[in-house]
Amino acid sequence: MTSRPEHLPERLALISDVQASEYISTGLLEGREEVPSIALNKVADELPGDDARVQLHRVRDLIDDAVTRFRDERPTAADAWLAPRLHETLRLSRREAAEKGFWTYLALGVAPDYVVWRHRPEPKADGARGRVARDKFVGPHYKQAFARLWWAAELFRNGSDYRPVVVACGNQDMLNSALRLDLVDHRPTALALVDLMARGIVRTGREVNALTFAVNAAAATLMYDVIAPDVERDGEPLRDWIAGAESALPSPRNTLPEGPAEERVPEETIGRLVGHFEELFADAPVRGRVSETAE
């Protein structure tokens, strides 16, 4: 199995897809080979400055703890634990998180072993090795191993509260479906989707897929930001939270961390969409669901 890189510099870095492609071999995707970390770091662009947020060991220690904690469980279980803590550890702005080369370096230069452990499928029936999908190293934000977790935490948190993130990341179909949709950038919409999951109205992967499809289709004629407007967001709490990285302790392992102290979405706003989405879901086709009429 691919192991922890032998060479880990002090600071995080950026690496382009073109540069990264040289190191994403079939052997790496199958978990048989290591990333030549010294060679990779020679071509990577180390992030400048002494900002605490660029210290590599903070995120590497977190990833090590995730692997240790979930080693005897299904690797998918790590997502709900790691997403909020990765978000709180890195303390990025959305503009910084949009830098694709950052996530590529995190996957390839910092934790390729985690990517292989988390995303390599089980061996096939004929004994052939499963391969990690290449886009877990260099894919878009809704597929790349670490970007998908950061964006899930960013889009599903309610101000400083990461509890909705844990619910969202506990269902792989929510991660795989909702993160592709622009509508989850509207906080009341994202939190209404999570509320239906938290209350057990939507449970299975098929139901999540049916819900997100129905909500997205209805968005073509309904403007959710008009039906359920969000509060105006002040950028000061985020700036303060980012600046606080200099004195922050490592992200707590046994309790949820706290995100930026932004104003929460009003409960009545979320509730307005919950009721609407519940009606959409009731009429949505779910494979395997028997309707009351058929019964």
Give per-residue pLDDT as tens, 235-280.
999 999 999 999 999 999 999 999 999 999 999 999 999 999 999 9
Round the average pLDDT of the chain to a whole number and report it: 94
Q: Please, which pLDDT band fits residue 114 given cuts at 50, 70 and 90?
A: very high
Q: How many CB atoms are located within 10 Å of the residue 238 CB? A: 18
Give per-residue pLDDT as tens, 125-147.
776 789 999 999 999 999 999 99
HSE toward the beta carbon, residue 233, CA cutoff 13 A: 18
pLDDT at residue 288 in the model: 67
Percent of the chain with pLDDT over 70: 97
- Quick one: tokens of 31? 């978990």
Does the structure show a pLDDT above 70 at 232? yes
pLDDT at residue 255 in the model: 98
Does the structure show a pLDDT above 90 at 35? yes
Q: Please, which pLDDT band fits residue 50 given cuts at 50, 70 and 90?
A: confident
CA distance 91 to 295: 51
Measure the CA angle with vertex 155, ends 150 and 158; round to 5°.
115
pLDDT at residue 124 in the model: 75
Residue from 254, 243, 88 nearest 165 by CA: 88
Give per-residue pLDDT as tens, 156-196.
999 999 999 999 999 999 999 999 999 999 999 999 999 99
pLDDT at residue 291 in the model: 54
Burial of 270 (0-12, 13-18, 19+ CB in 10 A): buried
Does the structure show a pLDDT above 90 at 290? no
Q: How many CB atoms are located within 10 Å of the residue 172 CB? A: 12
The mean per-residue pLDDT over the stretch 120-129 comes to 79
CA distance 23 to 28: 8
Tokens 């702005």 belong to which residue?
93
DSSP output for 218-262: HTTT--HHHHSPPPPPPSHHHHHHHHGGGTPPPPPSSS------P
- Quick one: tokens of 124? 């096939």
User: Would the CA dihedral through 163, 165, 167, 169 be positive or negative?
Assistant: negative
